[in-house]
Structure 1
Amino acid sequence: MDHEIRAEYDEGVLPHEDTPVKLWHMCRVGATTAMCGRQLAPAAATLPPETWSTPKAEPFCFLCGAHYLREQP
């Protein structure tokens, strides 16, 4: 299954390229619902799944990380 990392922003903040990220979440490609169940903005920044567990994808949702690990072979 293909994944991507999607940004969460502070409530009421619209995504923009210089908007600070509150938390990164793992999602299915093209989905706006994170693996932890949080709804994310369709225009939120995304990162490839290879950046998970790197400084670029910090801070990261621990629940999404746990779900993602369970799906990996």
Structure 2
Amino acid sequence: MIYKVYYQENPEEVPVRENTKSFYIEADSEREVRQKLKDRQINIEYIQLLEGKYLEYEKQQENFKLVE
């Protein structure tokens, strides 16, 4: 399954919507996504499962690239 992770780069600051970034990651569950990202110094705002038409739409975007 592919998840879209919305995050802030600085975990020490209060989240500001204009500073939210995102990337895509493959995992079997949201828990696995969090495990894979636990060593990164980011503030995860939201993890969204992508499937169906929404996944197809995201794949068409130029910034669609799976992160390891």
User: TM-score, normalization: structure 1?
Assistant: 0.40
User: TM-score, normalization: structure 2?
Assistant: 0.41
> Higher strand proportion, which one?
2
Q: Which has the higher contact order (CA 8 A, sep 6+)?
A: 2
> Higher helix proportion, which one?
2
